Amino acid sequence: MNTVMEEQQNQMPGSAMPDDTPVDLKKVYEDSHIQDVLDQLDRELIGLKPVKSRIREIAALLLVDKLREQVQLSAQSPSLHMSFTGNPGTGKTTVAMRMAEILHRLGYVRQGHIVAVTRDDLVGQYIGHTAPKTREVLKKAMGGVLFIDEAYYLYKPENERDYGAESIEILLQVMENQRDDLVVILAGYKDRMDKFFQSNPGMSSRIAHHIDFPDYTADELLLIAKLMLANLNYRFSQEAENVFAEYIVKRMQMPNFSNARSIRNALDRARLRQASRLFASSGKSLTRADLITIEAEDILASRVFNQPAAE
């Protein structure tokens, strides 16, 4: 009699399993192969420790949720809609791509693809145009992640004839009713996203995870530049690396700086100058080292060094 009572007390309501039923977190973790995705994220993105930490926390939540299913601890699936805030070039799109992979490997989305859109992809220009545009995008995104960049542009209360509100209404319905088949990530500048959520409480209530992406430091941007070059089979000479470090500091103080995006643009221009320099010396015998090395002169030619406005 006592044994039966003890077993009953050792069970959660609605569960046929006792509380001491063993679970194997390590096996679920290894079988999911999400560590491969987390490792890739570390390789792709320099810094962003708070962001990577939050992604790992979300992955841990989903893993534990899977374990709970195994021992018949039924519960509503966790809400996974997210908001990524930060300045341009801070890795929001890349993290969204890796998040889609994690969700797919853990079985929270069927396909794991990502559909990246802006207002123009969702909102029409005349009556009857917005709903089919928005639904077509949602159809493409089903089973994966819908990434809406600069999401605050969907809401333009100053324009009574704007159709963004219609798109938002459709999104809200799908985010609530089909959240088991679609994860929506809204992205943009933090201050504008905060204002957007204040103006759209329905949207705010559906976002479970708010992740802020900090700007990169100058040292991190130099590491990013070296990684970008290595992926393209280029490298800095030592002098060029020193000069590019100066370039970064100057460029960060100028208008329209976009973190890693600005660094990528600067490297593209440095490669153009390197090619022009090598072509101009075509009578000279070249080596493999010449083809892969960015020299200081390829960077010093930038207007950043002699004009206040960014090139």
- Sign of torsion over alpha carbons 194, 200, 201, 207: negative
| pLDDT level of residue 311 (50, 70, 90 thresholds) | very low
pLDDT of residue 245 exceeding 90, the answer is yes
pLDDT of residue 93 exceeding 90, the answer is yes
Q: Taking the domains of the chain in order of start, what are their residue ranges? A: 2-213, 218-305
pLDDT at residue number 24? 75
Was domain 2-213 assigned CATH 3.40.50.10490?
Answer: no
The answer to whether 2-213 and 218-305 have equal CATH topology is no
pLDDT of residue 258 exceeding 50, the answer is yes
pLDDT of residue 310 exceeding 60, the answer is no
pLDDT at residue number 28? 80
pTM: 0.85
Residue 193 in 3-state DSSP?
Answer: helix
Q: Which CATH number fits domain 218-305: 3.40.50.1820, 3.60.15.10, 1.10.8.60, 3.40.50.2300?
A: 1.10.8.60
pLDDT of residue 2 exceeding 70, the answer is no
pLDDT at residue number 15? 53
The pLDDT tens digits for 157-210 are 777 778 899 999 999 999 999 988 999 999 999 999 999 999 999 999 999 999
Asked whether the beta carbons of 58 and 209 are under 8 A apart, the reply is: yes
Residue 43 burial by Cβ neighbours in a 10 Å radius (0-12, 13-18, 19+):
exposed
Residue 124 in 3-state DSSP?
Answer: coil
- Would you list the DSSP string of 83-114? EEEE-TTSSHHHHHHHHHHHHHHTTSSSS--E
Count CB neighbours of 39 within 10 A.
Answer: 10
Please report, as a single letter, which amino acid is at residue 275.
A
